[in-house]
Structure 1
Amino acid sequence: MPAAAPAKPAARLGAKIRLLRRQEGLSQVQLAESLGISPSYLNLIEGNKRPLTAPLLIRLAQQFHLDLKALAPEQDQRLAEDLLEAFGDPLFEPLGLQAQEVRELVQNSPQLARGVFELYRAYQHAQEGLESLSARLSDGQGFDPEATRLPSEEVNDFIQQAMNHFPDLETAAESLWAEGHLNPDALYPGLVAAVEARGLKVRVHRAADGPGLLRRYDPERRLISLSELLPLRSRAFQLAHQLALLDHSALLDALADHPLLRMSSSRALARVALANYFAGAVLMPYERFLQATKAERYDIEILGRRFQASFEQVCHRLTTLRRPGAEGVPFHFLRIDIAGNISKSFSATGIRFARFSGACPRWNAHAAFLTPGLVRTQVSVMPDGRKYFCIARTIQKDTGGYRGQHATQALGLGCDMGHAKELVYADGVRLDQPPVPIGVTCRLCERTDCEQRAFPPLQQALKVEENLRRTSFYARIESGA
């Protein structure tokens, strides 16, 4: 029987309460009185010597007009891990920082920790900007400082904070099914009829009429044009996406009006991501899809055929099943290209992905390129002891003719080991086998016996022994070895 995952450390919220109180200009006596507790008890809470009960949490949320998510320990954990990766930069190596020091900074001064992380991210962007400026000046071109900032980073943070679940978009998708009397066996014709009911037309254009163009909406002609290269499932997805933009533009704007989306380009990209979410919810209605996932034990191929969706669309939809009281298996998801660049990622399992460096090469998503089109399974363990069951498979964009570029990418989907038996892919896999040790990125991983290590770990200074050669150049050399 596999060992249970280690328990998460208890939340230490005292520093957050103290910070909120000071921001509001309240004394301990004043806040304690409004909460109905003694000042001495509040003092113990702020010193992390007494736990916060559920009723107190609710009263605090009312006092400070807070969403309880603002007090979630998972956010502290993500921030601590982001900071650890930032401090993994060789720039900080002389400081000899320890992981516990970083975690204490997050616990005691979360706003300061966030500021340090944002400062490092700005430094990274500035470095990239200097390189870009140098290249552009050498070519006699101009330079736009905003070009070095990545809207995709802000959108990823926005989606992660929402746990990739947007109830208002789910409701909107359900309304479209009800009002349009959509038929799951003829979804594309039903969506065409829904579009035409709005006074619009749909046509399919030849590939030569718009090379590389998959969908275009002409508001003057009230015409939606779809490429003949799109299979029916993709045409349905694109029509649903366009309906989101037409029918729910105000909702998309309201959702994208978020503090994490600071640039106009980030908000524009978020609108696209949210419209894609709506389209996925239309193709795979929540309740019917959730029932199917459980009945078919998350068999992605069967789900794709039943709901006329691609392998990637099904994987995306599986990560959105977070409705309270009707949840699916919590998954993490990533998409990488053959160079190892992560173009999409989301985590509902607690696993995290590198922000500033390459992903661990031991993840099975990389190995998926060796067996195109086949599902690979992996039982893995992170340095914190948490075990995961993961699958990975390559995908190829099914648009383009003989001369088209058929880009190949790999998708990774994983869950905590406690949910592995709910997946058909775990059948026949020895879940008690020794797991593959994986990490986030080399600088944060303490395993020195990894043959694929590319950089020394943050916690260990590089020690060069010129008379010894081992499988890993960065292996720890024990005395007497």
Structure 2
Amino acid sequence: MPRARLYAGDRLRDLRRGAGLNQRAMAARLGLSVSYLSQLEGGERPLTAAVTAALARHFPAALAGIEGEVPARRLAALSAALADPAVAPLDAEGVARLADEQPDLADRFVALHAAKRAAEERAALAEEAMTSSAGHAGAGARLPWEAVRDWFHDAGNYVDALDRAGEALVDGRDTFEQRLGDYHVTLALDPDDAAPLARLDGHVLTLAAAAPPETRRFLIAHRLAAIAFAEPIAEIVAAAPLAHDEARRLLSIGLANYAAGALVMPYTAFRAEAKATRHDIDRLSRRFGVSFEQACHRLSTLQRPGAEGVPFYFCRVDMAGNITKRHSATRLQFARFGGACPLWHVHEAAAIPDRILVQHAETPDGVRYVSMAKGLVKPSGRFARAPRRYAVVLGCEAVHAADFVYADAVGVSHGGVTAGLAGAPTPIGISCRLCPRSDCDQRAFPPTDRAIRVDPATRGVVPYAVI
């Protein structure tokens, strides 16, 4: 039985105002006429399947407050499952009708699709683990840093207890140095260029004088978090399924780093400023006194239930193409081992420091993304030691382009529709071993699940054809 018609004018109006949109902008976002939106807000018309689908696409977190948690989750999960290119396409209104009128069938389809994805991920994980097992204790074994990286990934890169505790500790009256003083810890600077970034000797925290101011501030926040939140950090580590002591120590450090981010960039204030600036990272860096990378990383953690930010993916890539940090709140998932797709603009950004590159890309599953990449250099402080060079990338699905200032550079408008300079999106993959594309000239390896054909009489850029 389909549910009764839902009139949600007040909640729809509150959603629009909370997003800072007038009726014309909101109507454009949802693909409606201004007069129809006015009728919806006035309670003259009920929400249709098409309107619900548009809300699910642009305001998924808010939809739960309008429809209820279960219908909203069902619609979001079904939409994601039906976006799989292996499934026959269904328009957004049809997806909403299916979720509304056949909820049991929708739930079964979502479960079946989840099982399919899990099987694919297990196969990919097994293959990649075997290719990287040379330095491991055995095929598929994880080094401590890999285990901690996967722990944060499984946690959604959001740790609610520490995030809220960090936000509560910041009251605007005391500096982090004063807070550390409450724990009888004083600060000192080490002028030696070879000094570590930070060193705690008893009750003295010594920082490298050569470190940039935002780095020193973050290090102070890290030590404050490690002391102030020692108990919740210890509880989280004790509950984590980690096999090695070194992994548990790394997780403790990582959790203190996470809490430090919550101290210097408190969730509510940072999320509001990010929204107001359309996630302009330079402006966020100045506003909160943090580095470009720190602001990018924090944006990828804004997943507090009921107050989610734009779902971003974030990673850091070194000059050799190794992914040294990674997290995704989007459908794009990074390869666990090895390098990233060579068509991804992050590689070019690593070679061109202090220049922002923007890319409109599409993954093999048909999802389009807009991403920003910037090459960064961390000076070593002396000629004899090479500086650290790497790039960071932050991206979101193109449906959120209106909330991502960098999308303006490639002409991606509302709903991910290309215009102006955008042209066709760049076809990217996860990694060559996992990418099913058969027509990529940049391929380094054939995909593991596809056969190849070699024709000695024909020589292309890639010496085989994927079939």
Q: Give yes or no for TM over 0.5.
A: yes
Give the direction of change, closer, same or farther, for the CA distance of 1:339–1:75 in structure 2 (3 Å limit): farther
Structure 1 equivalent of residue 162 of structure 2: 169
1:20-419 alignment, distance < 5 Å = 79-86=118-125, 88=127, 121=129, 127-129=134-136, 149-178=142-171, 181-182=173-174, 190-208=175-193, 211-219=194-202, 222-419=203-400
CA distance in 2, matches of 1:157, 1:78: 18
Q: CA deviation at 1:430?
A: 2.5
Please give the secondary structure, in 2, of the residue aligned with 1:343: strand
Corresponding letter in the other structure for 1:200: V
**Is the 2:318–2:350 Cα contact (8 Å) retained in structure 1?**
no
Structure 2 equivalent of residue 454 of structure 1: 444
Structure 1 equivalent of residue 87 of structure 2: none
| Unaligned ranges ≥5, structure 1 | 12-47, 54-70, 90-120, 131-144, 183-189
**Is the 2:278–2:404 Cα contact (8 Å) retained in structure 1?**
yes
Q: CA deviation at 1:78?
A: 6.3
Structure 2 equivalent of residue 99 of structure 1: none
Give the direction of change, closer, same or farther, for the CA distance of 1:229–1:386 in structure 2 (3 Å limit): same
CA distance in 1, matches of 2:155, 2:164: 16
CA distance in 2, matches of 1:72, 1:173: 37
Q: CA deviation at 1:52?
A: 5.1
Structure 2 equivalent of residue 439 of structure 1: 429
**Is the 1:397–1:408 Cα contact (8 Å) retained in structure 2?**
yes
CA displacement, residues 316-341 of structure 1 (integer Å, 9 cap, x when unaligned): 10011111222211001111111111
**Is the 1:455–1:474 Cα contact (8 Å) retained in structure 2?**
no
CA distance in 2, matches of 1:264, 1:289: 34
Please give the secondary structure, in 2, of the residue aligned with 1:323: coil
CA distance in 1, matches of 2:106, 2:117: 22
Give the direction of change, closer, same or farther, for the CA distance of 1:170–1:336 in structure 2 (3 Å limit): same
Structure 1 equivalent of residue 462 of structure 2: 472
CA distance in 2, matches of 1:73, 1:401: 57
Please give the secondary structure, in 2, of the residue aligned with 1:405: coil
**Is the 1:229–1:400 Cα contact (8 Å) retained in structure 2?**
yes
CA displacement, residues 200-250 of structure 1 (integer Å, 9 cap, x when unaligned): 211111125xx141101112xx11111101222111111110112222112
Corresponding letter in the other structure for 1:80: A
Please give the secondary structure, in 2, of the residue aligned with 1:396: strand
Please give the secondary structure, in 1, of the residue aligned with 2:317: strand
CA displacement, residues 263-300 of structure 1 (integer Å, 9 cap, x when unaligned): 22111111111111111111111111111101111110
**Is the 1:85–1:444 Cα contact (8 Å) retained in structure 2?**
yes
Q: CA deviation at 1:88?
A: 4.8
Corresponding letter in the other structure for 1:153: E
**Is the 1:448–1:474 Cα contact (8 Å) retained in structure 2?**
no
| Unaligned ranges ≥5, structure 2 | 1-27, 32-53, 58-77, 84-102, 413-417
CA distance in 2, matches of 1:409, 1:49: 48
CA displacement, residues 377-429 of structure 1 (integer Å, 9 cap, x when unaligned): 11111111111111111111245234432110011111011011211111142
Please give the secondary structure, in 2, of the residue aligned with 1:8: helix
Please give the secondary structure, in 2, of the residue aligned with 1:377: strand
CA distance in 2, matches of 1:238, 1:72: 44
Corresponding letter in the other structure for 1:128: G
**Is the 2:136–2:143 Cα contact (8 Å) retained in structure 1?**
no
CA distance in 2, matches of 1:387, 1:471: 27
Please give the secondary structure, in 2, of the residue aligned with 1:327: coil
**Is the 2:222–2:257 Cα contact (8 Å) retained in structure 1?**
yes
1:419-430 alignment, distance < 5 Å = 419-430=400-411
**Is the 1:154–1:260 Cα contact (8 Å) retained in structure 2?**
no
Corresponding letter in the other structure for 2:135: E
CA distance in 1, matches of 2:320, 2:213: 31
Give the direction of change, closer, same or farther, for the CA distance of 1:129–1:167 in structure 2 (3 Å limit): closer
Structure 2 equivalent of residue 45 of structure 1: none
CA distance in 2, matches of 1:259, 1:276: 17
Corresponding letter in the other structure for 2:279: Y
Q: CA deviation at 1:257?
A: 2.4
Structure 1 equivalent of residue 17 of structure 2: none
1:8 aligns with 2:80: yes
Give the direction of change, closer, same or farther, for the CA distance of 1:157–1:398 in structure 2 (3 Å limit): same
Structure 2 equivalent of residue 135 of structure 1: none
CA displacement, residues 86-130 of structure 1 (integer Å, 9 cap, x when unaligned): 4656xxxxxxxxxxxxxxxxxxxxxxxxxxxxxxx4x66754248
Q: CA deviation at 1:196?
A: 1.7
Corresponding letter in the other structure for 1:195: L
Please give the secondary structure, in 2, of the residue aligned with 1:326: coil
Corresponding letter in the other structure for 1:181: R
Please give the secondary structure, in 2, of the residue aligned with 1:400: coil
CA distance in 1, matches of 2:162, 2:105: 40
CA displacement, residues 350-378 of structure 1 (integer Å, 9 cap, x when unaligned): 11111233211111111213422111111
Q: Taking structure 2 as the reference length, what is the TM-score of the superposition?
A: 0.71
CA distance in 2, matches of 1:325, 1:262: 34
Corresponding letter in the other structure for 1:218: D
Q: Taking structure 1 as the reference length, what is the TM-score of the superposition?
A: 0.69
Corresponding letter in the other structure for 1:172: A
Give the direction of change, closer, same or farther, for the CA distance of 1:346–1:312 in structure 2 (3 Å limit): same
CA distance in 1, matches of 2:274, 2:164: 20
CA distance in 1, matches of 2:235, 2:204: 26
CA distance in 2, matches of 1:173, 1:49: 41
CA distance in 1, matches of 2:148, 2:212: 28
Q: CA deviation at 1:439?
A: 0.7
